[in-house]
Structures are given as structure tokens and as C-alpha cells.
Amino acid sequence: MVTEAAMLDIKVIVFKLMDKEYAIPVENVRSIEKVLHITRVPKVSSYIKGVINLRGVVTPIIDLRERFSLAESKYDVHTRIIIVKLDQKEVGLIVDSANDVLDVPLSSIEPQPAVTGSVEADFINGVAKLDRRLLIMLKMEVVLDNNQ
Amino acid sequence: MELNQYLEVFIEESKDHLQNCNTQLLELEKNPHDLKIVNEIFRSAHTLKGMSATMGYEDLANLTHNMENVLDLIRNGNLSVSAAILDVVFLAIDDLEEMITSIAGGGNGKRDVSHVIQKLEMIEHGKEFADNPVLTDDVNNAIEKEASPSHLQYDEYERTVIEESMEQGFIAYEIKVRLREDCLLKAARVYMVFEVLEKIGDIVKSSPSVDQLEEERFDQEFFVTLLTRESMDYIRESVCKVSEIEFSEAAPLTLHSSLSAVQETAAAVEVIEKPITKTEKNTIVQENESVKKPVSGKTIRVNIERLDILMNLFEELVIDRGRLEQISKELNHGELNETVERMSRISGDLQSIILTMRMVPVETVFNRFPRMVRQLARDLNKKISLNVKGEDTELDRTVIDEIGDPLVHLLRNAMDHGIETPDVRLKYGKPEEGTIELRAYHSGNHVFIEIEDDGAGISKEKVLQKAISNGIITEEHSKTLSDQQVYELLMASGFSTADTISDISGRGVGLDVVKTTIESLGGTITINSNPGHGSLFSVQLPLTLSIISVMLVEMESEKYAVPLSSIIETAIIKDEDILHAHNQRVIDFRGKVVPLVFLNEVFNVPGHGREDRVHSVIIVRKGDKMAGLVVDSFIGQQEVVLKSLGNYMGEVFAISGATILGDGQVALIIDCNSLIK
């Protein structure tokens, strides 16, 4: 598979969580927002931080640190909400910072190594090596699966 | 030609025209001599024919054309209106509706309408063959028929035989049989068909002749005339049992139609000229009519999605308006204040206009009912008249779209279970004809739709008996129920009171579905009954689904909205008023014990928990049950736009949706029903 598609690139949005870099395909990303007022929704999973008013549309927000069971941190000026859309679901992901759009050659993506740190392996599609950077490619359908 | 862009308009307009035909036909049934009505129907049918022909829906155009011909005869006084004729026309309209639905659903609008067409033709030929017998047939049909005459020609002898047998109670049928194109042994199949038919009755004639058939000297079709006492359907089914038969059709034969067939070939030439003169006639009629008709308001059709987008954009504007108001207050600049105030007023007007744009009169739902009631009353052998009132009451489009089916169900229910058969009614000293009243009216923020019948009413004993035997309630429990509660059992799932299960209602899945649908629309349904005198089903619906009145409340720093529709009143209670019963805090509220729900505990509101000595309580209800929601403070009453929490969240406990407040923040709307146990 990889060799067949060797010539192709995919465009990704790169964001940071705990000094690690993650990537999601750009076609899933609707917009990137600064942190807005979040209204807490009671009695839902703890990683669902609540809902925001995204230009008239009530949009649920997931804290990716909590989703991946990483240490919590305070939101600061770099914190961003990446609005992603998959199937009919539109959800905002809270990340430490989001600052890059990159072309990743498919050939540089490798299946995930046996140990990828603390992020649950289920969430990961593979790892892309670019120069000295290591991008963790996220499996969006799992990240956005509310039942897990 | 690219017609897709007109498709939507076509579908909408066709529906309108068909609806018009329906309404007018019912009118016509009441005043069979009013030619104005016939003209009205004729015009609708004619427009429909023109439109469907342009759009390339042949079957549609064809059927409309035939219908039009019958109407034309009525209009010209050559045919008088009878129930039988109207039935056929109604049947044709049913078919037309089916086709339009199919087109709207992405289908090709094709349908086998030959049956209805045949009936229409028969009406026409039967009564009026001498004038212009071929009018019925399309140019196409006529040409086709020249090649293979569909009506057989009978000689003197055969006619006498047919006539005599008819007098003895036999019916003559013309049967058209078509073999499959890939049929190999045509002669064998023909033989089998003949064998089948001979068992059913006597074959008088066939076309092509038997000899020709045996030598396979025919295409795919042949015709047989049969004398029998069996029904049309039975014949058709029997013939179709022979394999490699594509279809067979049987139509009763009248000698008139056979006569007309004799003239057919000769008249076929005229056909080409006929439609032209006809259209000319129509345009004249149309012109005359349009002068008489009152000028109706000009309208355009707008896609509901566009209205939704408009609404959304407007909501954003409202939020920004709120911010602007706040800023101008802080700056306290005279001119700015003035401008902002004016803007607020204008946007207020704008809001009410946008809201009313989505409102549709319930007429759009109601006007299909008279037709349905007529048909059903016949099927049930009952005499029922339907009175419709308040059809100009307006409701939000989204509610309108949903309310049709539940109402159909309630009406059917009233007709099937409510209204008694004429003999029973006479026995009880009631007029033979039962009455169902369907009415709609505004009341406050709600619209009520009521269905009242003067039938048998609901027998409480029967309901209880059934509920116990179906395991919905226990015998002991049944004694404690109020009338209202007993009637509510009707809407419990798995309930059916009709002694015999009919296909009209009484499958036991009816009323509970109605109830759920109505509740999902934010409405309620109540049943009242006076045994022996009838029942009343009352449906209460919100005016609109998208805007609701709420009470905004605060817990710590969080804001929530409680729909006003479920609030009875608000109260301030002191600590010492709170009583404890079974680990449940309750208050004595106007003589009733009302359980308290501390919302900051239920919703785990973060905060220190305030040590208040007085509490703000909202008394809410669900049916007969009440609860007191304890909040930190009331903010006030407001109209808000209801929004969903999005697909990702799914069901959230005790939250029915969200809304965006003036400051741009989201407030959650509390679903009181799930907080009351």
C-alpha cells in the first residue's frame, strides 16, 4: 500500500499536546478558534468540557489531554480549539497549540511503533517522520467515538 | 432541454392542483349541478396535464387527459355527475398522487394506469359514444389500436349471444393477455390460457382468431371475450398463473363500447384535430374564469432551508445586537445609544417577520382529511360527516410536517371505534349520520387541535379490562385510577380496544405512537369522553418548535433555562419549610406534597454550595405530578431560540437542548419531564 501511493502527499494540521506533535487531515478541519466561553454540560464524560457558541451553532468541546488521559494543564494564550467534522459530527478539540499546516508524503508514514508513549494506541493511525520531527497521525473516527 | 430546475416547482404545483381537484370534487359531490366547480377541476386537471407532458411524464399526462375528457363531458352537460363517476375520478386522482409522490421521491413517475384509464374510457364511451367516441384515446393509443384493435368487433350473432347471457346474469369480459417477449412456445401458452378460461366460463371470441393463434401468427398480445359469473380479479389471477404471461387485463364489456370500437378506425383520423380545438376551448374558459376569480395574494416559494439559514444569520445578529447594547450603555454616548435603540427595534420587527414566514395554515394538513373520511366511511359502511373549523390557524412549518400522521390516526380511530354503524345509532336515538368535528385554534403560546366525535364514547370498564388482561396495569391498581388516567391507558403501548382488529385502526400500535410523536413536538394530548355521547381528543402544540419561552435561572455561575410551558409557578421557601420524608426533601405546596430537586446537586455544579436560608423554587409539572426545582436565583423570562446539542453528544440526562443568550454564551435547557419521577 505504502509503496503504491509513494508519490502522494496528504495535507495535515499539526498541533501540540504535552510537547508531542499530532496531525489530523486538513479535510476534517473546519476552523481553528481561540478559547471561547465554554458552557459545562452536566453528567457527560469528563473529557467533554461542554459546548460553545460557534457562530450560532452549539458545538461540543473535547479536551484532548483528558481524552488521551494526559496531565491536565491550564488554558493559556496558545490554547486553541480545532473544530473538526467527521460524518455528521462537528466537535471542537482543545489542544495546547496549533500552528502548522504540512504536506506529509504518505511514504513517510509508518505503522505505529510498539510503544508510543502514554497515548492509547487505539487513537493512532501511524507515525510520520519529517526531518527531525515526529508527527503522530490521529485516527479521527476513534477520537470522536463517544462510546469508548 | 434541462428540466431539472423546474422539477421542484412542478412537484409543488402538481400537488397543489391535485389538492384543488380533491377539494373541488368533494364540493361537487355536494352540489352535483354546479358547473363552476367542474370548470375549476377541469382547469386544474388541464394545467396538470400540460405541465406533466412538458416534463415528459407520459403516464401522468395520459391519465390526466382521460380524466379531463370525462370532466369535459360533465361540463358540457353530456354526462351527469353520479357517485360512481366520482369514485372513478377519485381513483384517478389517487393514482396521480402516487405518481407525483414517486417523482418527488426521485422515481420516474411511471405507473400502470391502464386500469383506471379503462374505467374512465368506459364512463365516457358508455354514455357518449355517439358524439365523439375517440376522444378518450390518446393519439398514440388510437394509432396503436388501429394496428391491433383492443376492442373486438362483434358480428350480429356474437352480440346476440353476449346480450342474452348478460340477461342471465353472466358478465362479458374482454381479456387482454400479453406474453413475455422471450416466450418460446407461444401457441402452447395460448392453449393453456384458453384451457384456464374455459374452466371459468365460455369463450365467445378471440382476436386474432383461434386459427391464427395456433399458428403463432400474432405478436405478444391477444384478446379473448369471455362470458362468466366470476369476478374480474379472479380471471386476471387465473390467467396470470400460466407461466410466461407478462400480464393480463380483464375489463367488463358493454356493447356500447364494442359499438364504439367499430367506429374507432374511422374516427381515428379526426383525433389529430380534436385536441387542438379542445385546447382552444380551454383557453377561452380559462380566460372567462380568471376574470371571475378573486385576485389572490402574490406568493413565491422559498426553500425551507433558506429560511433556516436566514433565521440562523438573524440569531447571530441578535447576539451582536445584545453586545452592542451593552457597549453603548457603558460608553453612554447619546447618538450611539439612539442608533442602537433604533437598531433593536428594527431587528425586533425583523424577527417577528422571519418567524411568521415559517408559519403555515393547518389547512395544508386538514384539506386531505375530507377525502379520507369519505372513503373510509364507505369502507366501514358508516355515515359520517366531517366538520372542519379553524383551518386558517397557523403553525410552524416543522410542526405542520409532523402533525399529519398523528391526526390521520386519531381521525381513523374516531371513525372506526367512535362512530357507530347507522343501525346502532338509530337504536340509540341518534341521527343516522355521525359527526366528527376537527377544529384548530390559538390559545396563548399554543395551538389546539381537537377531534370530537358524537359516537359511542369510551367504555371505562372495557379499557380497564383490556389493560389488565394485557398486563399494562394490575387489578388493584385499576381501582385507584381517575377517569383521566383510565383514558390515558388507551395510549399505553400494546393496547387495542376494538373487539375485532380491522386494518383501519386497532393494531394496538396506534395511539401510543401518536402520543410519542406529539410529545416529541413538545405537545400534549388529552382524552375526554362521555360514554354514549362521544369522545374528545385534544392535542396541544407549541406555536413553533424553534422559539420557546423560558425562565432563565442561575446556579453558581452557570445559567440554565426552564421552559415556561412546564412551569406552574415560582416560590421562595425558607429552610424550615423543607420537610424530610424517606430521604427525600419535600415541601407542602398549597396542600400538596411536592418533592424538591436541588439542581446544583443533580447537575454537580462546581462551587462551594451556598448556605442560604431561603431558596428559590420553580414548581414544574408533568401530567399530575409536580416537583420543585431549587435554584440559586431567577434571572427572568425570555424568548429563546432552541438549538440542539449536536450529533456528537447524543442524549444528555435532563437536558433537552441549548440556546444562545444575549452575551453569546450557551445556556442549557432543562428537560423537566426527566426530573420528575
Residue ending a domain, among B520, B542, B564, is: B542
CA dist B2 → B6, B329, B537 (Å): 9, 57, 49
| Cell triple for B310 | 436566514
Q: What is the pLDDT of residues B473-506, one digit of tens each?
A: 777 777 777 887 888 887 776 676 554 444 444 4
Handedness of CA B107, B232, B380, B90 (dihedral sign): positive
CA distance B369 to B352: 31
| Three-class DSSP category at B468 | helix
Interface mutation target, options A36, A37, A39, A86, chain B, most CBs of B under 10 Å:
A39
Q: Which residues of A fall below an 8 Å CB-CB distance to B? A: 37, 39-44, 48, 50-53, 55-60, 87-91, 144, 146
The Cα B162–Cα B170 span in angstroms is 9
Q: Which of A112-121, B40-49, B260-269, B652-661 has the highest mean pLDDT?
A: B652-661
Whole-number pLDDT of residue B259: 43
DSSP letter at B419 equals S
Encode burial over B290-322: b for 16+ CB neighbours within 10 A, e otherwise: eeeeeeeeeeeeeeeeeeeeebeebbeebbebb
- d(CA B452, CA B299) in angstroms, rounded, equals 34
The whole-angstrom separation of Cα B154 and Cα B172 is 12
Residues B121 and B64 in one domain: yes
φ/ψ of B155, rounded to 5, equals -90, 175
b/e sequence B235-255, b meaning 16+ C-beta within 10 Å: bbebbeebeebeebbbbebbe
Per-residue pLDDT, B369: 87
Higher pLDDT residue, B488 or B184?
A: B488
Q: Clarify whether residues B314 and B410 are in a common domain.
A: no
Cβ pair B221, B178 in contact under 8 A: yes
Rounded distance, CA B91 to CA B557, Å? Answer: 64
Instruction: Judge if B577 and B667 occupy the same domain.
Output: yes
Contact list, A48 vs chain B (CB under 8 Å): 649
Q: Is B560 exposed, middle or buried (0-12, 13-18, 19+ CB in 10 A)?
A: buried
Residue B233's pLDDT is what?
Answer: 78
Q: Where are the alpha helices (DSSP H) in B389-450?
A: 397-413, 422-427
Residues B339 and B369 in one domain: no
* Grid coordinates given for B138: 390518446
pLDDT for B553 beyond 90: yes
CA dihedral (B306, B310, B311, B317) in degrees, to 10, reads 160
Q: Cell 422571519 identifies what position?
A: B354
Residue with the larger pLDDT of the pair B109 and B265 = B109
Mutate to test the interface with A, among B323, B648, B651 (most CBs of A within 10 A): B648
Residue B610's pLDDT is 67
Q: What's the CATH code of the domain at B612?
A: 2.40.50.180
What are the pLDDT digits (tens) for B362-401? 888 888 888 888 888 888 888 888 999 988 888 888 788 8
Based on the domain organization, do B194 and B213 belong to the same domain? yes
CA distance B235 to B611: 86
pLDDT band at B559 (very low <50, low <70, confident <90, very high): very high
B655 in helix, strand or coil?
A: strand
B386 within some domain:
yes
Question: Cα separation of B120 and B68, whole Å?
Answer: 10
Q: Is residue B299 part of a domain?
A: no
Of B190, B222, B252, the residue at which a domain comes to its end is B252
Cα–Cα distances in angstroms (integers) from residue B530 to residues B440, B456, B457, B488, B537, in the given order: 21, 8, 6, 15, 12
Q: Write out chain A's pLDDT in tens, 148 residues.
A: 444 444 688 899 999 988 889 999 999 999 999 988 899 999 888 899 999 988 778 899 999 998 888 888 888 899 999 999 988 889 999 999 998 898 888 888 888 766 655 556 778 888 888 888 888 888 888 888 876 5
Is B552 domain-assigned? Answer: yes
Domain contains B519: yes
| Cell matching residue B141 | 393509443
> And the C-alpha cell for B590?
398549597
B296 is a domain residue: no
Residue B133: per-residue pLDDT: 38
Between residues B282 and B631, which one has the greater pLDDT? B631
Is residue B225 packed enough to be buried (19+ CB in 10 Å), middle (13-18) or exposed (0-12)?
A: buried
pLDDT score for B618: 93
Q: CB B211: neighbour CB atoms within 10 A? A: 9
Last residue of one domain, picked from the residues B508, B542, B576: B542
B192, B107: one domain:
no
Domain extent at residue B233: 156-252
Choose the closest CB to A39 out of B602, B648, B668.
B668
Q: A81: which chain B residues are within 8 Å (Cβ-Cβ)?
A: none
The cell for B284 is 377561452
CA distance linking residue A139 with residue A125, whole number of Å: 5
Q: Is B602 in the A-facing interface, judged by CB distances under 8 Å?
A: yes
Between B29-33, B104-108, B391-395, the lowest mean confidence (pLDDT) is in B104-108
Residues recorded for chain B: 677
Cell of B202: 365460455
Of A43, A58, A146, the CB nearest to B650: A146
Count other Cβ atoms within 10 Å, centred on residue B384. 22
Between B23 and B294, whose confidence is greater? B23
The pLDDT of B566-593, averaged and rounded, is 88
Query: What distance in Å separates the CA atoms of residue B189 and residue B198, rounded to the nearest whole number?
Result: 14
- B639 touches B607 (CB < 8 A): no
The whole-angstrom separation of Cα B169 and Cα B83 is 24
DSSP-assigned states of every residue in B494-515: S----SS--SSS-SSSHHHHHH
Amino acid A31: pLDDT:
92
pLDDT of amino acid B151: 55
Closest residue of chain B to A54, computed from CA coordinates: B664
At B623-653, the pLDDT tens digits run: 778 899 999 999 888 777 778 887 788 778 8
| Number of domain units in chain B | 5
In a domain, residue B297? The reply is no
ipTM of the complex as predicted: 0.86
Provide the residue count of chain A: 148
Measure the CA–CA gap between B101 and B11, rounded to whole angstroms: 8
DSSP state of B153: P
Secondary structure in 3-state letters for B624-648: CEEEEEEECEEEEEEEEECECCCCC
- Highest mean pLDDT of the ranges B40-54, B59-73, B422-436: B422-436
DSSP state of B566: G
Residue of A nearest to B641 (CA): A56
Residue indicated by cell numbers 381479456: B175
Confirm whether B485 is domain-assigned: yes
Tell me whether residues B664 and A58 touch, CB distance under 8 A: no
Q: Is B381 known to be catalytic?
A: no
pLDDT tens, B56-81? 787 888 888 888 888 888 877 777 77
Asked if B218 and B337 sit in the same domain, the reply is no
- At what angle are helices B255-271 and B156-167 packed, to 10 degrees? 130
Bond into B208 cis (ω within 30): yes
Say which residue the cell 402516487 belongs to: B98
What pLDDT was estimated at residue B629? 93
**CATH number for the domain harbouring residue B272:** 1.20.120.160
Residue B295 falls within a domain, yes or no? no
Does residue B508 sit in the same domain as residue B630?
no
| CB contact (8 A) between residue B652 and residue A40 | no
Q: Mean per-residue pLDDT for B513-534?
A: 84
| Side chain identity at residue B27, one-letter code | E
According to the per-residue pLDDT averaged within each range, which of A101-115, B203-217, B594-608 is highest? B594-608
Query: What is the four-CA torsion angle of B176, B181, B185, B187, rounded to 10 degrees?
Result: 30
Are B372 and B509 within one domain?
Answer: yes
The amino acid that residue B44 corresponds to is S
Active site includes B20?
A: no
CA dist B511 and B493 (Å) reads 8
Q: What is the Cα–Cα distance from B200 to B222, expressed in whole angstroms?
A: 18
- At residue A113, the pLDDT reads 67
> Percentage of residues in chain B with pLDDT exceeding 70?
84
Tens of pLDDT, residue by residue over B124-171, are 776 443 333 333 334 344 333 333 344 566 777 777 777 777 777 777
Cell of B123: 364512463
CA A10, A13, A14, A17 torsion-angle sign = negative
Of B97, B90, B94, residue with least CA distance to B70: B90
Regarding pTM above 0.90, the answer is: no
Beta-bridge mates of residue B558: B555
Give the three cell numbers for residue B414.
374516531
Within this chain, do residues B513 and B437 fall inside the same structural domain, yes or no? yes
Cβ atoms of B176 and B197 closer than 8 Å: no
Return residues 547-576 of B near A (CB < 8 Å).
Answer: 558
Residue A106: half-sphere exposure toward Cβ, Cα within 13 Å: 10
> Residue B188's pLDDT is what?
77
Instruction: Examine the domain organization and report whether B666 and B640 are in the same domain.
Output: yes
Residues B487, B425, single domain; the answer is yes
* Catalytic residue (one of B20, B22, B62, B413): B413
| Contact check, Cβ <8 Å, B648/A53 | no
Residue B248 belongs to domain with CATH number: 3.30.70.1110
